[in-house]
């Protein structure tokens, strides 16, 4: 066999035997044993993979800040009735979810949304419940 055949065989073997790995961050930053809720105005709604993000302007105890809330992937949420138009900038909502494990209030994992008219938008379930 020529060098080209050996090289081609090696490349084919590597391609066929290697397993794809998905890069993904740890979820250890969230406290799945506790729940929190924040009400405010949606400032941004990112319908992106691998997770959606809702940026909520929260006002509490005279302070205002932007909460970054992370949720499941768009496909999983679509199966629960979500679309890229589920949230609109300026809309008032209450986010339910798991707070940060270190106690900071700047981020959370979304387990549910209650819109101003009382409509509830579900997710794939609470992570601490095995879903």
At 24-75, the pLDDT tens digits run 567 888 999 999 999 999 999 999 999 999 999 999 889 999 999 999 999 9
Query: In this model, does residue 11 exceed pLDDT 80?
Result: no
Of the chain, the percentage scoring pLDDT greater than 70 comes to 75
Predicted structure pTM score: 0.74
Rounded CA-CA distance 36/56 in Å is 14
| Average of per-residue pLDDT across 86-111 | 94
SS3 content of the chain, % helix, strand, coil (to 5): 20, 35, 45
Rounded CA-CA distance 35/99 in Å is 6
| Average of per-residue pLDDT across 75-91 | 91
Confidence of residue 1 (pLDDT cuts 50, 70, 90): low
User: Which is higher by pLDDT, 42 or 12?
Assistant: 42
User: What pLDDT, on the 0 to 100 scale, is given for residue 32?
Assistant: 93
Q: How far apart are the first and last CA of the chain?
A: 53
User: What pLDDT, on the 0 to 100 scale, is given for residue 37?
Assistant: 95
DSSP run (H or E) holding 92: strand 92-99
CATH of segment(s) 23-129:
2.40.50.140
**Residue 42: partners with Cβ closer than 8 Å, 6 or more residues away:** 54, 55, 56, 57, 87, 88, 89, 90, 91, 92, 93
């Amino acid at each position: 066999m020529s060098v080209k055949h050996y090289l081609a065989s090696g490349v084919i073997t590597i391609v066929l035997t290697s397993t794809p790995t998905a890069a993904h961050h740890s979820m250890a930053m969230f406290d799945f044993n506790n729940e929190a809720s924040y009400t405010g105005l949606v400032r941004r709604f990112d319908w992106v993979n691998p997770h959606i993000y809702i940026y909520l302007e929260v006002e509490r105890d005279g302070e205002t800040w932007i909460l970054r809330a992370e949720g499941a992937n768009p496909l999983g949420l679509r199966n629960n009735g979500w679309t890229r138009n589920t949230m609109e900038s300026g809309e008032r909502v209450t986010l339910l979810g798991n707070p940060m494990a270190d106690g900071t209030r700047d981020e959370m994992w979304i387990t549910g949304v209650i819109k101003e008219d009382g409509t509830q938008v579900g997710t794939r379930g609470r992570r601490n419940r095995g879903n």
